Structure 1
Amino acid sequence: MKKSISGWLAVLGLALGLTFSAAASAESEGIAWDKAPNKTTDLASLQNGAKLFVNYCLNCHSAAFMRYNRLQDIGITEQQIKDNLLFTTDKVGETMKANIDARQAKEWFGTTPPDLTLVARSRAGHGGTGADYLYTYLRTYYRDGTKATGWNNLVFPSVAMPNPLWELQGERRPVYAKVEQHGHEAEVFTGKWEQVTPGTLTPVQYDAAVGDLVGYLQWMAEPAQNTRIRIGVWVLLFLAMSVVFVWRLNASYWKDVK
């Protein structure tokens, strides 16, 4: 019996060691993700994020599980949707589908652009939430003449997609420092950037815009999340009060029982 327990403990210890080793290895291969601001309750931010999504993302990426008229939940009227967010041939009750041809996109980029409806949930990992990943990813593009698109990304090296927001951000170059690692000299990202050409937004404004876009992607992945959280808080309060009543009822029921 003792040998069996010892064997299981050894297997468990090996599994945990491999898990932590893999996580540490994955962490060392990429940069740390920045914490995304939580803007899922800010209607003005969500509305701006929806506008950015339609103008800069929907050209290539669909959101096939989201309908345009659902944007009324974040305070955009049906008329505003028709006037500002719909393409000419789209209707307000239709889903958000990209106009790009999937086969042409694969030829141009080497892969079919993925659907973004659930991307804020599917991209979660050891580095943080899906929102953290997207927030860091959209802020770490840089020019790279060795790539077919002319762009690269620190979070997603050799990414097939060029920077969709480059007009807003401008062109930047990451700053590296040479350090000694395992007896060899290596270049490590310092967390700083050199602005090559300015964009239409300042760096602070750009970070805020990306926060709005990521907040919208979070909301789109689960439009009912804020309602779920709000109802959940009331349910927990109700259960807490119920425990008190049940406890007193139990005490009253058993007080005469010896």
Structure 2
Amino acid sequence: MEFSEVADAPESVPDPGPGPSDVRRSGRTTLLIAAAAVLGVVAGICTGYVIQADREPTALPPLSQPVLAQAKGKGPEPLSAAQDRRVRTDGDLRTLLLKRPSGAQEPLFEPGHDGWMSLAEYAETFKQPAVAFRYEIGNEFRRAAVAAWRLGDTYSVQIRLVQYRQEEKLDAADSADDGRYWAERKAGSRSWAIPGTGDGRVYVHTRPETESGVSVYSAEAHAWRGDIAMEIWIYDTKPISEGKVMDLAKRQVGRL
């Protein structure tokens, strides 16, 4: 190619963005800094050996040491079952669920069996059950308890307590965070913080979803405490107030 052909090329060329070399440069700088730090430590150790070699040897203390007397008296009393949260959460998880209010009816569809939801049943509550099933296995799903009821012909409530093993990470916190993420993506959503939970929130969706000619409003709440993620779902053919879902959320968190 002649020089005139290069000169005729357009002056503005789109920026291709950071290339592989740009990405590697950052990592290489980090390695150089780390190597310098290691060399500095090695140099300091060598200098210390030289200084120590020129000093007179220091006499070692005798091997026999005085025996320390053991403190007398009883040790601290173990926590009672009311004080030890682990006792509550390792027991029957269903006892931590809010009780069905007076006058409430059985739900049209009973979730789970006898207040428990298996991993497969819990995964079925997602839009992609197969994906959710694998995701929950990776999140060390342990068990889930559920309570549901209906007030009148259209108002329904479902509360789930999902417990994780948490041997490697805070899966309950991740679960609640996922719930908040998807709740915030719904159009017409408003949210409020749940007091005493740090990042727990309730959501009221002001735009109904219409199916088979019926418009249904919804509200939800997501929070976590320890190894348990709390989910609350409310559905009605009429708009749902913030007070209704907030009242349930505060009382349910209080039982955890």
Query: TM above 0.5, one fold?
Result: no
TM-score, normalization by structure 1: 0.21
Return the index of the structure with the highest Cα Rg: 2
Which structure: greater helix fraction?
1
Which structure: greater strand fraction?
2
Of structures 1 and 2, the one scoring higher in RCO (CA 8 A, sep 6+) is 1
TM-score, normalization by structure 2: 0.21
